[in-house]
Amino acid sequence: MRVIDHLHSKRITPSFRRTLIYLFSMFAIILFSTLMALHAPAQSLSASADPYKLGLLKSEKGDYDGAISEFNRVIENSLSRPQSFATREYANRAKTDHNNFILYYDNLAVVVSRQAAAYCARGLAWYAKGNLAEAEADFEQTINLAPRYLEAYLNLGATKQLKQDPEGALALYNQALKINPRDIAVYFNRAVAYYTLQDIKSALADLEKAVGLEPDNPAVYVNRGNFWTFIQQYDKALADYNRAISLNAGLASAYNNRGNVYFIAGKTGDALLDFERALKCKPTLAEAYLNRGLIRFAEGKRDEAEADFRRCREMDSRLGTSIDERINEIGSPRAVTAVAR
C-alpha cells in the first residue's frame, strides 16, 4: 500500500512519537472511572460515605492527592477476594457481596475486589500526576489481585508506552485481548505500540479491526481519524471526523479534531468555528480551549487567549504546562487532538 510505503520511509522524531503515544495512551487511561461507575454494585454507599467513590469524584475534579488518600483507605480496609466467573448468570448470584465489583466482557463475567479496583484507580491518579513508577506498581498489583481485570492491562500498557517501552505495552495489550478480543480500546492502543515499532501494517490492521467491531460507534472514527492526522493523511482524517459527526452531532472531540485539520490547512476561520462547536458540546474539553486560545493569540486577541489558556489549565493541568511551548511554535500549525470517549 502507498500509505505503508510512505510511513516506512518517514523518520519518526522523538517529539512526534511522544505526542502520539501520549494522546493515544489517554484513550486507555481514561476508561477506568467511567467503567467503574457503570459497574458499581447497586448497594454501594453514597459517595460521601464511600471512600472509593469519593476518590473517583476527586480524581474527576483533578484533586489527585485527595483521591490517592481516599484510595489508600480502601486498600487498607478492603478484603481481597479476586475471582472470575465463566457465565453472566453465575456472576449475578455474587452481586450481594459489597466487597466485589462485577465487570462484564461480552459473555465473560469477572469479579474484581474493591481492593484491586482501588489499586487501579490509585494508579490512574499517580499517572495523572506524572508519577509513572508509582502508577506502574499499582497496575501490576491490580493484576496480581485480579488477573482477569482487562482495564489493568490496558492502563499498564499505556504507562509502558509513555515510558518508551512499546514492546512491553504490546505484550500487555495481547494479554488484554485474550480476556476480551472485542475491546476496541485495546486495538487502538495496540496500534500505537505497533506504530512506534514502525510496524505500520499491523497498526492499520488494528484500526480497521476496531472500526469493523463497532461500525456505528462514532468514537472509532474519531480515533482512527486521529491516527490519520498524526501520519499526515489529512483527507482520510477529515472523512473519518465527518463520519463521526454524522453519527453523533454532539461529539465534542470530533469537532475539535476536525478543527485541527482545518488549522493545519491554514483555514483558521473553519478551525475556530469547530473549536467553538466542540466547547458548546462539551464546555470542559481542555484541548478545545488550548486550540482556540492559540488562534486568538495569533490574531492578537491576547486577553481572550489568556482566558482560554486559564480554562485549559483548570480542565487539564498536563495540557496547561505545554501552553508556552505551543505559543513558541505558533508559526507551525499543530493543534491538540482529543480522544473520543
Single pTM value for the model: 0.74
CATH 3.30.420.40 fits 31-215, yes or no: no
- What confidence score (pLDDT) does residue 86 get? 61
Domain ranges of the chain: 31-215, 217-341
pLDDT at 161 over 80: yes
Question: Phi and psi at residue 237, in whole multiples of 5°?
Answer: -60, -45
Tell the CATH superfamily of the 217-341 domain: Tetratricopeptide repeat domain (1.25.40.10)
pLDDT at 297 over 80: yes
Mutual angle of helices 200-213 and 184-196, in 10-degree steps = 170
Tell me which of 155 and 37 has the higher pLDDT.
155
- What confidence score (pLDDT) does residue 253 get? 94
Query: Buried (b) or exposed (e) across 301-318, using 16+ Cβ within 10 A?
Result: eeeebeebbebbbebbee
Whether 149 contacts 110, CB under 8 Å: yes
Tell me which of 209 and 106 has the higher pLDDT.
209
The residue-averaged pLDDT of 309-335 equals: 79
- DSSP for 21-65 reads HHHHHHHHHTHHHHHHHHHS-TTPPPTTT-HHHHHHHHHHTT-HH
How confident is the model over 112-136, as pLDDT tens digits?
889 999 999 999 999 888 899 999 9
How many degrees, rounded to 5, is the angle at CA 286 between CA 283 and CA 287?
115
- What confidence score (pLDDT) does residue 116 get? 93
Q: What percent of the chain has pLDDT over 70?
A: 77
Whether 206 contacts 170, CB under 8 Å: no
Is-same-fold flag (31-215; 217-341)?
Answer: yes
Tell me which of 313 and 335 has the higher pLDDT.
313
- What confidence score (pLDDT) does residue 27 get? 43
pLDDT at 3 over 80: no
Whether 228 contacts 234, CB under 8 Å: yes
- What confidence score (pLDDT) does residue 36 get? 36
pLDDT at 250 over 90: yes
Tell me which of 223 and 9 has the higher pLDDT.
223
The residue-averaged pLDDT of 49-65 equals: 88
